[in-house]
Amino acid sequence: MKKLGLLGGTSWHSTLDYYRLINQAVQDQEGGLTSADLMIRSVNFAPFHEFQVTHQWDKIAEQFIADALAMKSAGVEALVICANTMHQVAADVEQGVQLPVLHIADALARKLPTPAAGKQNTMVERSATKLGVLGTEFTMEMPFYRDALLQRHIEMLVPEPIARKEVNRIIFEELVTGQVLKSSRDYYLAQVDWLEQAGAEAVVLGCTEIGMLLNQSLTSTPLIDSLSAHVEYIVEYSLDH
């Protein structure tokens, strides 16, 4: 089993889910008293969010790199950024630490058909080349996420500008503080329907807190939970003997 470093706290709600789900999956696969070999750095999200809003991504990268280097000195073999938006600095962290970052876009791509001999990956939920994405405004509008998906042959669709603002507001004013409101769930479901009408073959819950609000039982549109997909990828990497 590989020792992994989790860069989290952005927010702590999803980082808690990462820790729980990774350990559950490792125990399910390995049995007995086995649990995951992890180090967690959970940051104070308030200043990090301020850096996001003021586009000081270099400061986020610097802090992640410093924390990841400490993890590396303690034997960590690969890194996990426990958020979609923070993958804006994934390449900087990987270069600065010289450890692999298990990218969330690779986890999403594993949900799509593999090209070899027309066969599909056993983890595929639905064949899709156009994916709708719900997430923070940073994830939906900045190029890092769209470019990462395009590199993996996935086209990204997002809601209209006004809707993006409301999706973003719900994340930062409600979900990251643990609030789950029916009105917000209904709003997100309306955006899922809109994305499907716009051509999305599935919709990515592209913020790791959105799973608090939506799940597959609420809609006939195929959903891909980025957190769950990421966890599957992380566990397989960790247990690749």
Q: What is the pLDDT averaged over residues 29-52?
A: 96
Count of domains observed in the chain: 2
Residue span of the structural domain in which 211 resides = 107-226
Q: What is the CATH number of the domain that holds 194?
A: 3.40.50.1860
The pLDDT tens digits of the residues spanning 80-90 come to 999 999 999 99
- Same structural domain, 93 and 154: no
- Same structural domain, 128 and 185: yes
- Same structural domain, 91 and 119: no
Q: What is the DSSP string of 202-225?
A: EEEE-STTGGGT--GGG-SS-EEE
Nearest-angstrom CA–CA distance, 110 and 208: 17
- Same structural domain, 113 and 201: yes
- Same structural domain, 83 and 148: no
The reported pLDDT for the residue numbered 129 is: 81
The pLDDT tens digits of the residues spanning 137-195 come to 999 999 999 999 999 889 999 999 999 999 999 999 999 999 999 999 999 999 999 99
More confident site: 114 or 30: 30
The pLDDT tens digits of the residues spanning 59-104 come to 999 999 999 999 999 999 999 999 999 999 999 999 999 999 999 9
Judge whether residue 213 has pLDDT over 50: yes
- Same structural domain, 143 and 184: yes
- Same structural domain, 175 and 233: no
- Same structural domain, 143 and 115: yes
The reported pLDDT for the residue numbered 64 is: 98
- Same structural domain, 131 and 215: yes
Task: List the structure tokens of 211.
Answer: 């799973």
The reported pLDDT for the residue numbered 241 is: 60
Judge whether residue 122 has pLDDT over 60: no
- Same structural domain, 133 and 195: yes
- Same structural domain, 35 and 144: no
- Same structural domain, 112 and 98: no
Judge whether residue 126 has pLDDT over 60: no
pLDDT band at 113 (very low <50, low <70, confident <90, very high): very low
